[in-house]
Amino acid sequence: MHTTDDPAVLVVQGIKIDDATRTELGANLPDHEDAVTIPADVILRAARAIEAQA
């Protein structure tokens, strides 16, 4: 997890999705966006860190 100048916005890094997953997402993934996979524990740790800052 990376922070930005806006505390409400986070930047995530992960493994790019494969072609099959991209096809499944179809129209839900606009051309100007991309998707990555992120382990659930990373999301949970990020949520806990954000909660602790509140």
CA-based angle 41:30:9, to the nearest 5?
45
Distance CA 5, CA 15 (A): 24
For residue 7, pLDDT beyond 80: no
pLDDT interval class at 29 (50, 70, 90): confident
Distance CA 46, CA 34 (A): 20
pLDDT at site 1: 62
The closest alpha carbon to 37, from 9, 53, 18, 24, belongs to: 18
pLDDT at site 20: 92
| Pairing of the two strands 10-11 and 15-16 | unpaired
pTM over 0.75: no
Mean pLDDT, rounded, of the chain: 84
